[in-house]
A = this chain, B = another copy of it.
Amino acid sequence: MPKKVVPETERLRRRPTRRGTVLSEKLIVRTALRMLREHGSAGLTARRLGAALGADPSTLYRYFAGLDDLTRAIGEELMGRALDSWTASGKWRADLRSLGLAIHTSYLAHPQAALLTASRVTGRPREIEVDETILGILRGAGFGDVDAVGLYHAFIDLALAFAALDAGALAVKDEARRADENMWTSTYARLPSETHPHIAATAHLLADRMNLSAYPIVLDTLLDRAEAVRSRQSRPKP
């Protein structure tokens, strides 16, 4: 095993691989994202990633402690992209809403990657930056610390949970374009009304609805609650 993984910032001797490409954490993560998109979530292997980079698989271990570590770096990348695509307006509710949607969108842009990473806390810089931002919005809006932390928790978990769930649905569609691609029209629409009256009665609505994410609605519901909490507080800032 390589003695040690050298931090990216201290990496000075950049030797090209046999095929001429110069490696870096960023290049590896981006190549991994591309492979996940093209070959599905089972298609990311050290050997394949090495081949795509024109490098020996074992070289990856100079950059990441293992595939698990690489996975965390991918999650960090997605979180960073969400943050980069977001701008603050100064209005707390609008900002929280757009940040939540930015996270959700960023993850769903890479469903297979999202599946691997959305349920992991990485503790890396960009992720911490997101946490700090959310808490800043809430505290800046005048929420007390206890309320702010409670809302922060619900907010971030909701975003990640739906990112993972919706990514799962998308990934299945992308990867296996099988006959059961639309389970809702194939299986559910055929259930007899004697045994499943409620599904039978609403099957046409279900088929439409289940292809959309419930996240925006649930997020708005959470923000409604936040607003209610805030209006109870003494002298809220405007």
Residues of chain B within 8 A of A148, CB atoms compared: 202
A1 at the interface (CB under 8 A from B): no
Within 8 A of B (CB), among A89-148: 115, 118-121, 123, 128, 131-132, 135-136, 139, 145-146, 148
Q: Using A153-B214, A217-B154 as known contacts, say yes or no to A164 and B164 having CB atoms under 8 A apart.
A: yes
Residue-wise, chain A 163-196 has the 8 Å CB interface mask toward B (1 for contact) of 0110111001000000010010001100100001
Residues of chain B within 8 A of A83, CB atoms compared: none
- A: residues with CB less than 8 A from B are 115, 118-121, 123, 128, 131-132, 135-136, 139, 145-146, 148-150, 152-154, 157-158, 160-162, 164-165, 167-169, 172, 180, 183, 187-188, 191, 196-199, 201-202, 205-206, 209-210, 212-214, 217-218, 221-222, 224-225
Residue from A164, A167, A172, A213 whose CB has the most chain B CB atoms within 10 Å: A164
What does DSSP make chain A's interface, helix, strand, loop or mixed?
helix
A-B contacts, 9 listed (Cβ < 8 Å)? A118-B165, A119-B167, A128-B196, A132-B197, A139-B198, A139-B201, A149-B209, A157-B162, A224-B224
Report how far A214 CA is from B206 CA in the complex, Å.
27
Report how far A188 CA is from B128 CA in the complex, Å.
8
| Residue contact B165 to A157, C-beta cutoff 8 Å | yes
| Residue contact A168 to B201, C-beta cutoff 8 Å | no
Smallest distance from the beta carbon of A175 to chain B beta carbons, Å? 11
Residues of chain B within 8 A of A115, CB atoms compared: 119
| Residue contact A218 to B218, C-beta cutoff 8 Å | yes
| Residue contact B136 to A198, C-beta cutoff 8 Å | yes
Residues of chain B within 8 A of A222, CB atoms compared: 218, 221
Smallest distance from the beta carbon of A139 to chain B beta carbons, Å? 6
